[in-house]
Structure 1
Amino acid sequence: MKASAFLYPWDVIGDPDAPARIADLGVRQVTLASAYHSTRALTPRHPGHRIVTAAYASVLYPPGEPYWRGRRLRPHPAGSWAPGDAFGAAAEALSAAGLDVHSWVVLAHNSRLGAEHPDTSVVNVYGDRYPWAPCIAQPPVRAYLVALAAEAAVRPGAGGTELESCGWYGLAHLHAHDKIAGVPLEGVAQYLMSLCFCPVCEQGYLEVGLDASELRVRVRRALSPVWRGGSVDASGAELLAATLEFRARAARELQEAAVAAVRERAPAGFQVLLHADPRVERCGANAGVDPGHILGVADGVVVPCAGGPELLAAFAARGSALSVLAANVTVVAGLGGSPSSLGEVADRVRGVGATELRLYHAGLASRGDLECVRTSGAVG
């Protein structure tokens, strides 16, 4: 089964053994970050360092000055964790080892953007801003994300791209010293806490027949029992359905525009995939999509399968023989993955319709994790 391993440029640069080590896993492809959010990452085999701290969301190559000139919203180049054209240098080394390279582009997840331009962020029903979550309904934000998708995706050495966070981001976010788990927020409550009430979204609700002031009261009322230890009010499901038309439309418009911009810039045959969840209301790295729609826009999807292959079924039912359905599985035991059972996992996802595997994450995995991948017989 064709597989691609996720990597950061800093997993490769300065480690001359890294390309061969990845190729030895049996994978044919690497999905290499070219635009990424802030993170702290382990590099357990690198000869020069063990911890890489990416202080802010950045592009891992030099952004084109003529391309961004005059734009209020623009990406920042990486700091010392990925200086210069880190993506290009890593891609060249991986290609020399016989590996295909596709870019990995994180879009609507950017805390620095929210810090520098607070008006671009999602604003929840209580007036709290989520600086990590750009509001994709705002035209300037959408224009920025579309431009970023095109530049970060089509890098020298890349034969395709995977667009992550190409949709709404909401409350769920692994933030530094996160302390929001005191009250469980699942399902509808998580959705309601992810609704945006910026001026653009308020106008959007009005366009689907929802007065923003009244909606704010209703959402707060539906959430009120949650803060007292109960469950979201029964009206919460109605509010989800009522607001989803506008939010789904905003996400579709971003996804269509981003894919079109990538294809306009890319050479023929350049593959475009989206990290996606078939539940349209979902926020986060795997954007909620309508399976039939997105498979008519992109070449395929990368679907989270760490909890099982169930989410693949909706895409398999709507895809064509040409659609790429990649199952994203975690192969880092310390992050909850089961690399020792990768062969069984591959069989299960193939049975539901997966055509490829994505292995998260070859740079973070221990030596033992990688040995499990290499001997699993699941990749090739």
Structure 2
Amino acid sequence: MKASAFVYPWDVNGDPAAPARIAGLGVEQVTLAAAYHSTRALTPRHPRRRIVTAEYAAVLYPPGDRWSGRGLRPYPAGRWAPGDAYGEAARALSAAGLEVHTWVVLAHNSRMGAEHPDTSVVNAYGDRYPWAPCIAQPATRAYLVDLAAEAAVRPGAQGTELESLGWYGLQHLHAHDKTSGVGLGEAGQYLMSLCFCPSCRTGYDEQGLDADALTASVRSALEPLWRGTAQDEGRPTIEKLLGEETAARTRAWREDTARTLQEEAVAAVRAAAPAGFQVLLHADPVPYHCGANAGVDPARILSVADGVVVPCAGGTALLAPFAGHAGERTVLAANFTVVTGMGGSPGTLAADAARARAEGATELRLYHAGLASDDDLVTVREALSTR
């Protein structure tokens, strides 16, 4: 199974030993961040630093002329990734014999929400989620499609992985987070992620739903969760709390909005890319799920993209729905966390990879070569040597 390690440019730039160290793990590919959200990251082996603070979502290369005069545009990175940080790292990694693919984070941008608050998801209570651009808004969709094409197709890249290409909702890794006091479960997360911005209200109307009535229904449906009296069973709970027909029409609007955005973005990448350029999505096989791994319909997305990257840190169960629709050349990449300090289990990687292969996986993704400890990397290298 081909393996790729996730990497940030700042893991490589300024550390001459990094490319050979990453290649020495036994991976054939790196998935290198070209557009990324704000983060605070450890660099445990870098000769000059130990912490990188990426203060806002940014592109890690100089943005192109297409953004001139536009209200929504990508932000160049600051001192954490100056200039063409992506290009510098990509050249060094390629010189070490590694195939480089871009890693592009899309609908996850807190600075956009702060500077353009009308672009954000608005929940049923009127609260805005500044980290979550609403993908139903025409200007936001145009921004995301153009960003996908530009950030994905960087010089020398042989493919891309598009993350957060769908709805983002309540759940968000956020500094000093205090939102876990009530266990919302899958149903509550979904209901708290429904957007009621003007574009979404119009969309609900087009599905035969009165947006004001839907807002009231969502608030009412959430009351048992706030009281802790509802038992969460995922989609059946959503339908029970919201009503089967209302839930179906709400999902229809959201799933069609995400599907068409995904199709437009993949088409834009293909139009900008050379022949043979691989396009993958970070994806979840439950269409109404939100977040970095966008909810998709497996059959439909595999008819559009070359494959998917599937989160497998909690097990390999999410692979099967995609495997059932995979073709001979479909890429089904199982994504495992190999950083012990972040809940990963590099010691079980060999067994996990075998299990993933049995479930239909064709490739591995390892999160994350730059964040892992030396001991974790030794364990990863040993596991990959048994393939």
Q: Is it true that 1:274 corresponds to 2:273 in the alignment?
A: no
- SS of the residue corresponding to residue 35 of structure 1 reads strand
Tell me the SS of whatever aligns to 1:269: coil
2:308 maps to 1:301: yes
CA distance in 2, matches of 1:226, 1:299: 39
Tell me how far 1:248 sits from its aligned partner. 0.3
Match in the other structure for 2:264: 257
Contact 1:114 1:133 in 2 (8 A): yes
Q: Alpha-carbon deviations, 1:203-259, whole Å to 9, x = none? A: 101111111011011111000111122227732363433310000000011100100
Runs of 4+ in structure 1 over 4 Å off: none
| 1:230 equivalent in structure 2 | 229
Amino acid at match of 1:199: P
Give 1:139's aligned residue. Answer: 138
Q: Which amino acid aligns with 2:271?
A: E
Once residues 288 and 379 of structure 1 are traced to their aligned partners in structure 2, the CA distance between those partners, rounded to angstroms, is 33
How far the C-alpha of 1:72 sits from its partner, in A, is 1.0
Matched with 1:186 is 185
The residue number in structure 2 matching 1:363 is 370
The alignment partner of 2:324 has SS state of helix
Give the residue type in structure 1 aligned to 2:97. Answer: G
- 1:166-201 CA-partner distances (Å, limit 9, x unpaired): 000000001111000100111111100000000110
**Deviation readout 1:54-93 (Å, 9 max, x if unpaired):** 00000000001x2111211000000000000000000000
Q: Secondary structure at the match of 2:268?
A: helix
Percent of matched pairs sharing the same residue: 71
User: 1:40 matched to which residue of 2?
Assistant: 40
Match of 1:210 in 2: 209
Give secondary structure in 1 for the equivalent of 2:218: helix
Distance 1:379 1:287, change over 3 A: farther
CA offset digits 1:308-330 (Å, max 9, x no partner)? 00000000001101110000000
Distance in 2 (CA, whole Å) between partners of 1:5 and 1:235 is 41
Q: Is the 8 A contact 1:278 1:288 kept in 2?
A: yes
Aligned to 2:248: 241
Change in CA separation of 1:237 and 1:270 when aligned onto 2, cut-off 3 Å: farther
Residue 234 of structure 2: aligned partner: none
**1:295-334 to 2 correspondences below 5 Å:** 295-334=302-341
Q: How many residues align?
A: 379
Q: For the Cα contact (< 8 Å) 1:188–1:236, is it kept in 2?
A: no
Tell me the distance in 2 between the aligned counterparts of 1:147 and 1:292: 25
Q: Deviation of residue 155 (structure 1)?
A: 0.4
Structure 1 residues 378 and 215 mapped into 2: Cα distance closer, same or farther (>3 Å)? farther
Partner residue in 2 for 1:30: 30
Aligned to 2:379: 372
Residues in 1 aligned to 2:319 and 2:385: alpha-carbon distance in whole angstroms: 18
SS in 1 for 2:102: strand
Match for 1:342: what amino acid? Answer: L
Letter matched to residue 267 of structure 1: P
Gaps of 5+ in 2: 232-236
| Rounded Cα–Cα distance in structure 2 between residues aligned with 1:13 and 1:314 | 39
Letter in 2 for 1:207: E
8 A Cα contact 2:25 2:384, kept in partner: no
RMSD over aligned Cα, in angstroms? 1.1
Query: Alpha-carbon deviations, 1:6-34, whole Å to 9, x = none?
Result: 00000000000000000000000000000
Q: Which residue of 1 aligns with 2:51?
A: 51
Are the aligned partners of 2:113 and 2:131 in contact in 1 as well (CA < 8 Å)?
Answer: yes
Partner Cα separation in structure 2 for residue 71 and residue 298 of structure 1? 28
